[in-house]
Amino acid sequence: MKNNQTIAFTLIETLAVVTAVGLLAAALLVPMIKQLDGIAATKETESLNLLAKAYKNYICSSKVVPSYTGWATNVANRLGVSVATVTNNFRGLRRVFLIDPALELGGVRATSLPYSWSLSNSVSFTTPPVSPRFMLISSISSQLPSGLVSGIGATNGANAFNNIWSTPEGQVPSGWSWSGNGEDLKVVRFDLTDLFVQIILNNRDSNTVANALPRFQMDDNFFVKVPVPFGGRKTYFIKGTELKLLNVLDVLEYSEVLTTSRSFTFEYGSWQGEAFVANAVSQTSPLDLQKIMNSFMNAPANTNAKFGASQLAVSNALVAFLGEYVTWRDAGYPGQFQGQGNPPKSLEDAQTALADVTNNLLTPP
């Protein structure tokens, strides 16, 4: 009887230990899963950014903007991986590639992609790209909505391109019927604006005649004459294109692989470079400013900064300064234009504080 009681007590102890271990495992399981999902989310975001970069690099090297049916193959070849690795993430969930339906490249709409860049196309390409926006969308938890497929984005509805583009990070686009949550949804937005440069060519040499004109060439395309008088041939090209300028004797005077917008004038029998004063491909937008701020905030901290200055401190000082400026503007800029002195002291103080914390962050002790 004593032995049986001992055995029974031992079993009870064993059950208690097993129960305690189970409770401990359950307590640790949730944060462990969250940690793994966090790692997966970071990995997928990095992968999508890599795919977007490869897509843009392909355009620069080939001078071709692929369609949604060819993007994955071109990116896969660029990275040296399988197409399945591009179209699906490491959890086997499909990725979606969307093109802005408002896209227009030299008169060519999104529905006409792929677009092969050549001099004959670009000669008439006198307007900057319109809405050259793209998105890569993925999930780390469950399949994306069945109605969301790669291609030219919808113009309205839950899966509309603009609806997804404008949805803040960490949120599910409005109208979606989806089992996942915002933290599991990964969207990388990118555009091709920074891939284009504008070239302006002028012929101001009145001594040139129709059968003896300066010429230019882009990459290995045919040569094009620049007549006189000519008010400036404005064209847009993809970065990495080689520009060649020849004089009236067909002597090559200048060659450059384009990385920025340029302007050239032919005068007194020779080509001369000019300061570029034409409009850029696009004006700075709130998205551009946000990209700059994101890069600033994500930069490594300066361990030698004075008085503990940080990117966050600079950001807060900037917000404070802008707030004071808006208040002054809304009041009609009192004191500035009526000969009454300087702007408000609160604005000057905010500007000084911004300058001080910026200098403390950049200047080592």
**According to the model, what pLDDT value does residue 221 have?**
76
How many Cβ atoms from other residues are within 10 Å of residue 332's Cβ? 10
pLDDT digits (tens, 9 = 90+) for 152-193: 999 999 999 999 999 998 899 999 989 888 989 999 999 998
pLDDT digits (tens, 9 = 90+) for 348-363: 899 999 998 888 888 6
* Pairing mode, strands 262-267 and 196-203: parallel
Q: What are 63's two structure tokens?
A: 């001078």
35 to 26, 27, 32, 42, 340: CA distances (angstroms): 15, 14, 5, 11, 59
Read off the pLDDT of each residue in 21-47 and give the average, rounded to a whole number: 68
Gap between the Cα atoms of 183 and 174, Å rounded: 15
Q: Which CATH entry fits the domain spanning 196-274: 1.25.40, 2.60.40, 4.10.410, 3.40.50?
A: 2.60.40
Query: Does 120 score more than 70 pLDDT?
Result: no
Place of tokens 């000019």: 274
Q: Which has more pLDDT, 108 or 78? A: 78
- Look up the pTM and report it: 0.64
**Residue ranges of domains in the chain:** 6-191, 196-274, 286-362
Gap between the Cα atoms of 18 and 9, Å rounded: 14
